[in-house]
Structure 1
């Protein structure tokens, strides 16, 4: 188990390094820099010499290889750099905007799991073929709905036409209802699809047929024999979808005007605040890696066969 954990930690570090490198290369291709955007076209009244001095202070004029290794060393020591536009350390800017995004992503992920489980197990419980076919078609419909379009539709119907949730100055939790729904529906689709396939495949296994032959009810079979075997493969998809969930949260925040990484990313792109953008990429990658590491470590705990297989390896 310790070798398994060390191997995954090593892979996680490599993934973080790759994410930083790709972000660094892409952001360096942008024309101009944050110092020019903030001070050249503003009323600060700085001379070109003073702007050049500021660029040297922020390290904008360093050679690319020197800038790369300097920023790489700073990232792995916890120093995320300095935001030119905000005039604050990037870690402080991220600390202010990350919690709302994590809250929205967590609520959306929870709602997506509940929705996927409801669709999958309801399709297994129902005795009506037409309802089963309709439930099987729902994930295909959900996955084709763009997050931004769904958010606009929810605002138009729920807020403007029905007047149930105000758009302007809603309560803290009240303002998270529509963004959570908009985020959860597309994310729930792949989870529901895998659950439905796994449930149908598990119902055909020999031990399920034996349990039914002994007189077990359909509900008892689903709970004791089907649920655990069907949910296990879904964990991998859930972990992979969390990265998409963070990206969807950024789009959803922009649609609903919420503060978080969404608005911060938009401002950083407009102002070419590369330090903030690189920090957002690194933190998003770190969260994604952590979730998948937890999922991978949960597999041997939930499935004893995997634990025995790992212990049997030399």
Structure 2
């Protein structure tokens, strides 16, 4: 069991290092200069600046150093909890993200709850109903939901619920009503993925011998599915928890921009367009850390939930 835990922890560290390295490499392969971008956006002609002035601006953010030195400087800063200074705002990255993260966390939590509720309910209904055509329709809904582009879903919701019916605000952050459409937009794809996994799990679990035994004891079909089917079917769904978290995080970039919400998603878009390297790296690492931690926790809990994995881990 100790080797199993150590192996999973080392894998998590390797994934984080790879995420940082890839993000750093992609940002530094971009042909533009972030300092030049900021000066141009401010209406300053960079060609009129003296080389010493441009060099001083680059030195302010460490951009005058060799790329390999910058790589290890940023990496060392992350290991010590120092995310650097935003190039565009000239304030600590922790402050930049801290001002936006509350909105994104709230949206992610609400969207996750909505996805969990409707994804589980749909999988249960698809497994429960006996009418063939209705069961076929229910089983196809997750694939349809996962295939819809999120920006299209958001636009349809804005057109129908906001412009036509006037029930909800189209954009902004105006209380709980402004959370409804973004949450639905994000939960559509995450709930669809969850429903697909649960449907397959339900089918496998309901064929097991202990289900027939429970039915023989006089339990109704619905009671058997709730007490025995849902519990066992939920175990495989835990393995995709990290995927769902990752989808929620990445979805926020599109959804927050579309609904004009001032969160980490819209901050990511701004930072990428202005090549604010410290901010982009910090957001990538925070998202990667969240993804890795969730998967690590699932990996460590799964042997406790499934004895077969526990025996395998002990044997290893």
TM-score range, shorter chain: over 0.9
Provide the TM-score with structure 2 as the length reference.
0.93
In the alignment, structure 1 residue 261 sits paired with structure 2 residue 264: yes
The residue aligned with 1:16 is: 16
Is 1:178 equivalent to 2:175 in the alignment?
Answer: no
Among residues 229, 233, 258, which one is paired with 1:226 in the alignment?
A: 229
State the alpha-carbon separation in 1 of the partners of residues 240 and 141 from structure 2: 18
The whole-number CA distance in structure 1 between the counterparts of 2:18 and 2:172 is: 41
Q: Structure 1 runs of 4+ off > 6 angstroms?
A: none
Could you tell which deviates more after superposition, 230-239 or 122-131? 122-131
In 2, the alpha carbon distance for the partners of 1:169 and 1:202 equals 44
Deviations 1:131-188 (A, max 9, x none): 2111111111101111111001100000000110122556321111100000001111
Give the aligned partner of residue 280 of structure 1: 283
Is 1:65 aligned to residue 68 of structure 2? Answer: yes
Once the two structures are superposed, the pairs formed by residues 79-94 of structure 1 within 5 Å of their partners are 79-94=82-97
| Paired residues for 1:65-144 under 5 Å | 65-144=68-147
Counterpart for residue 33 of structure 1 = 33
Greater CA deviation, 16-25 or 297-306?
297-306
Is 1:297 aligned with 2:303?
Answer: no
For 2:12 and 2:171, locate their aligned partners in 1 and report how far apart those are by CA, in whole Å.
42
Aligned to 1:6: 6
Question: 2 CA distance for matches of 1:2 and 1:145?
Answer: 43
> In the aligned structure 2, how far is the partner of 1:112 from the partner of 1:67?
41
Contact 2:241 2:294 in 1 (8 A): no
Give the 3-state SS of the residue equivalent to 1:88 in structure 2: coil
Given that residues 33 and 60 in structure 1 are in contact (C-alpha distance below 8 angstroms), is that contact kept between their aligned partners in structure 2?
no
Q: Following the alignment from structure 1 to structure 2, what is the Cα–Cα distance between the partners of residues 284 and 257?
A: 21
- Structure 1 contact 40–51 (Cα < 8 Å) conserved: no
Whole-angstrom CA distance in 1 between matches of 2:95 and 2:6: 31
Q: What per-residue deviation string (whole Å, max 9, x for no partner) do you get for residues 66-104 of structure 1?
A: 111111111111111111111101111111122211221
Q: RMSD across aligned C-alpha pairs, in angstroms?
A: 1.9
What is the 5 A alignment of 1:299-314? 299-310=302-313, 312-313=314-315
8 Å contact from structure 1 (residues 23, 278) kept in 2: yes
Could you tell me how far apart the structure 2 residues matched to 1:243 and 1:168 are?
Answer: 24
Gaps of 5+ in 1: none
Counterparts of 1:187 and 1:169 in 2: how far apart (Å)? Answer: 23
1:302 positional shift = 2.5
| Higher mean displacement: 126-135 or 193-202 | 126-135
- Per the alignment, do residues 193 and 168 of structure 1 end up closer, same or farther by CA in structure 2, a change over 3 Å counting? closer
User: Structure 1-normalised TM-score?
Assistant: 0.93
Give the secondary structure class of the aligned counterpart of 2:188. Answer: helix
Structure 2 gaps, min length 5: none
8 Å Cα contact 1:83-1:90 kept in structure 2: yes
- Post-superposition shift, 1:309? 4.1
Q: How far apart, in 2, do the equivalents of 1:11 and 1:50 lie?
A: 45
Contact conserved, 2:171 with 2:259, CA < 8 A, in 1? no
